[in-house]
Amino acid sequence: WRERARELGERIPAGFRVGVATAAFQIEGATHEGGRGESDWDVFTHQPGRILGGSNADVATDHYHRLGEDVRLMADLGVDSYRFSLAWPRIQPGGRGGGNHDGIAFYDRLIDELLAAGIRPMATLFHWDTPIELRGGWLSRDTAHRFADYAFLAAEAFGDRVESWVTINEPATVTLNGYALGVHAPGHTLLFDSLPAAHHQLLGHGLAVGALRDAGVVGRIGITNVHSPVEPAADGEEDGAFAALFDVIHNRVFADPVLLGRYPEAPEPFRELFGVFDEVDPDDLAVISAPLDFYGLNYYFPSRVAAGAGDADSPDGEAEAMRSLPFHLEPWPEFDRTGFGWPIAPDYLGVALGEMRDRYGDRLPPVVITEGGVSFPDAVAEGARPEDPVDDRARIEYLGDHIAAALDAVAPGGRAEGVDLQGYHVWSLLDNFEWAAGYTQRFGIVHVDFDTRDRAPKRSYGWLREVLGSRN
């Protein structure tokens, strides 16, 4: 594995940033400390039956109390960049008004320690923890304005040091899982009536870009969308129409307005479902399409879409919830699967990048892969021998293949030649609270014992350190 790590390291071009990623709610814990307010995820995780195993994130990985140790892990690893999120309810507990001193002090310390270790801070303003006092959450247009105020507060506090800002992480997942299917907070099952939550997040994104620019932040500004290349399960009209529909719902509703200043047209049979977008004020679209310095891409897997309700299960309940839709995702028989059952398909990362070039052309800013990674339920599934819980050879293969596929895709003659790809962030530094799946899926390159919260670097951590150290 060392040899392969070196080969990969030598291929990584100068200026390409390799980092690790986390999110506040998934790692911090200390939900009642430091003046933090309540978020919709706090409420959701304490409702019976929402989270696999009945767990919550009150302690999570206890990062709030182990910040120094976690920064040291990253410093020893040698990453260029750390992508984390600011908890809105820590900085502005009720979602409006002035800043919370202790919350700001916590991130001040994190950012200063990162800089002292030579690691670039990439701060995500919103990774799903909405202050509960913002009634209606993202169904309310007012939340977009509250979000811009919060962005301005964060900019005043950290704008002199944060190297990259991500406004919103995966508005598609928030809309689909949180508002359409109900498997994430706030747990609404509105199906297509969830689309206002998409528009308000995108508007909040655009307003936040304006707030960050007004505050004069020194860092670069972008958004993070999750892209899944879509294919119909079978040739023919039926699956084809639903595949086009899913591509619109999952990818284009969130990328087109940001990069092109307009919502996509829905495929003919479904046009009515997207009627709400016809009434959008053109001024909103001008705000949403504010120029960005980079585009954050999360890539996990491609989607094979077929007509008709499905009958699949998934550890996080996503697949069951999708049974209420008139289409479903089919397995890809040719690919191995992750602990979530997601297909392992590194080449489709190149397809995702290529589609972005084809669709957005000159409008596409430099791309930073803000997340990519793989979960397994336990050490044995990660590829380890039973006696060695940190031997995750399957993760090494996953990460190596995906980083290589991204580099191949943008190389001369590659599927996405011309895309200015500037980095890859591994999801995740730590095993953490995996939303609806609780602690049953491990994504970390560092193992966390959820009884003691002790950290133990896995083999993939050593592999990544070798990759980083082998760069020219």
Q: Tell whether residue 188 is among the known ligand binding residues.
A: no
* Backbone dihedral angles phi then psi of residue 339, each to the nearest 5 degrees: -60, -25
* Backbone dihedral angles phi then psi of residue 23, each to the nearest 5 degrees: -140, 145
Size of the site for ligand GBH (CB under 6 A): 15
Using alpha carbons, list the distances in angstroms from residue 360 to 10, 265, 353, 365. Answer: 31, 15, 11, 9
Does 300 sit near ligand GBH (CB under 6 A)? yes
Using alpha carbons, list the distances in angstroms from residue 15 to 20, 81, 329, 471. Answer: 16, 12, 37, 11
Interaction mask 395-434, ligand GBH, x per CB under 6 A: --------------------------------x------x
Q: Which of residues 9-28 bind ligand GBH (CB under 6 A)?
A: 23
Q: Which of residues 325-344 bind ligand GBH (CB under 6 A)?
A: 329
> Which is catalytic among the residues 318, 355, 371, 466?
371
Closest-by-Cβ residue to ligand GBH is: 173
Helix, strand, coil abundance in the chain, percent, nearest 5: 45, 15, 40
Does 169 sit near ligand GBH (CB under 6 A)? yes
Q: Tell whether residue 434 is among the known ligand binding residues.
A: yes
- Report how far residue 466's alpha carbon sits from residue 464's, in angstroms, rounded to the nearest whole number: 5
CB 404, min distance to ligand GBH, A: 21
Binding residue (CB under 6 A) for ligand GBH from 92, 130, 164, 173 = 173
Catalytic residue flag (residue 170): yes
Q: Tokens 């991204």 appear where?
A: 406
Burial class of residue 326 in the structure, from the number of CB atoms within 10 Å of its CB (0-12 exposed, 13-18 middle, 19+ buried) = exposed
Region near ligand GBH per CB under 6 A, out of 149-157, 167-175, 270-278, 288-296: 167-175
Does 226 sit near ligand GBH (CB under 6 A)? yes
Q: Tell whether residue 348 is among the known ligand binding residues.
A: no
Does 107 sit near ligand GBH (CB under 6 A)? no
Catalytic residue flag (residue 371): yes
Closer Cβ to ligand GBH, 78 or 341, answer by number: 341
Of 126, 161, 117, whose CA–CA distance to 147 is shortest? 126
- Report how far residue 41's alpha carbon sits from residue 13's, in angstroms, rounded to the nearest whole number: 39
Element (H, E) at 224: strand 220-226
Binding residues: 26, 127, 169, 300, 427, 434-435
Active site residues: 170, 371
Binding positions for ligand GBH, rule: CB under 6 A: 23, 169-170, 173, 176, 226, 250, 298, 300, 318, 322, 329, 371, 427, 434
